[in-house]
């Protein structure tokens, strides 16, 4: 099996084994981890995001299911970094970087948009403190200079919105096929989107 296919099989396996866990570790969020991932990817598609950013939206939290330091109520789990070694075997920076920066994007938005913090879920507010709180001016400047900062900010907004109980989305298989196309350098077929838009 090629290493790209191995990565895809691993992603499928992680979502199958852990996708039913409550999003954000059971902190009273109302969707499962898989529902959250699918909704995030769907919002990216609806916004007309390029395929690598749709992939990033699907995969942004998969680090929760990968090996690493276990987070708890007082320790951040650094989940935005934990999947990067795996994903880097199949995908480029346009997939990896928005994932790596999606926590930084939250810290940036809290620092720069007065209303942003008010819209965060209680779980997100709690993790914000563990992740370092709002960025200071120097950190904001560094973030803005990141080549994928804009994509990370877009991903962050879809992430925050991807928590609707019972929402209809395409199945995981649809996004796995998009990932498969991306991993081998093909433009993914996107025609199925319109059908789901109408649902
Ligand atoms: Fe998320």
On the question of pLDDT at 191 being above 60, the answer is: no
User: In this predicted structure, what is the pLDDT of residue 198?
Assistant: 40
On the question of pLDDT at 70 being above 90, the answer is: no
Residue 124 CA to ligand 1 centre (angstroms): 9
User: In this predicted structure, what is the pLDDT of residue 77?
Assistant: 77
∠ CA 96-81-113, nearest 5°, is 80
Residue 17 CA to ligand 1 centre (angstroms): 18
Closest CA to 40 of 21, 19, 54, 24: 54
Each residue of 51-69: pLDDT tens digit?
Answer: 999 999 999 999 988 876 6
CA 119 – CA 56 distance, rounded (Å)? 22
Residue with tokens 């919105």: 161
Whole-angstrom CA distances from 37 to 2, 11, 62, 160, 188 are: 25, 12, 8, 11, 18
Query: What pTM, to 2 d.p., does this model score?
Result: 0.90
Residue 138 CA to ligand 1 centre (angstroms): 25
Contacts 24+ apart (CB under 8 A), 134-141: 134/107, 134/110, 135/104, 135/107, 135/108, 135/110, 135/111, 136/111, 139/107, 139/108, 139/111, 140/108, 140/111, 140/112
Report DSSP letters for 128-195, one per residue: HHHTTSS--HHHHHHHHTSTTHHHHHHHHHHHHH---TT-----HHHHHHHHHHHHTTPPPP-THHHH
Q: At what angle do helices 33-46 and 51-59 cross, to 10 degrees?
A: 160
Q: What is the mean pLDDT of the chain?
A: 89
> Which residues neighbour 74 within 8 Å (Cβ) at sequence distance 6 or greater?
130
User: In this predicted structure, what is the pLDDT of residue 3?
Assistant: 87
Residue 61 CA to ligand 1 centre (angstroms): 5
Determine the length of the chain.
Answer: 199
Each residue of 83-113: pLDDT tens digit?
Answer: 999 999 999 999 999 999 999 999 999 999 9
Tokens encoding 143? 């973030």
Each residue of 14-55: pLDDT tens digit?
Answer: 999 999 888 864 455 589 999 999 999 999 999 999 999 999
On the question of pLDDT at 171 being above 90, the answer is: yes
Residue 149 CA to ligand 1 centre (angstroms): 17
On the question of pLDDT at 13 being above 70, the answer is: yes
Residue 160 CA to ligand 1 centre (angstroms): 7
């Amino acid at each position: 099996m090629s290493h790209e296919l191995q990565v895809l099989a691993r992603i499928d396996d992680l979502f199958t084994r852990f996708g039913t866990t409550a999003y954000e570790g059971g902190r009273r969020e109302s969707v499962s981890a898989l529902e959250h991932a699918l909704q995030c990817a769907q919002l990216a598609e609806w916004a007309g995001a390029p395929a690598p950013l749709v992939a990033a939206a699907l995969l942004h939290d998969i680090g929760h299911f990968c090996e690493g330091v276990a987070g708890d109520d007082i320790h951040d789990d650094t989940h935005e970094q934990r999947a990067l070694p795996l994903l880097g075997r199949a995908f480029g920076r346009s997939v990896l970087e928005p994932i790596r920066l999606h926590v930084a994007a939250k810290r940036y938005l809290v620092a720069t948009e007065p209303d942003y913090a008010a819209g965060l879920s209680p779980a997100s507010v709690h993790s914000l403190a563990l992740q370092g709180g709002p960025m200071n001016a120097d950190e904001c400047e560094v973030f803005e200079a990141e080549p994928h900062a804009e994509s990370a900010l877009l991903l962050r907004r879809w992430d925050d919105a991807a928590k609707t109980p019972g929402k209809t989305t395409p199945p995981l298989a649809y996004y796995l096929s998009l990932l498969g196309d991306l991993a081998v350098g093909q433009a993914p077929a996107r025609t199925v989107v319109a059908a789901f838009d109408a649902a």
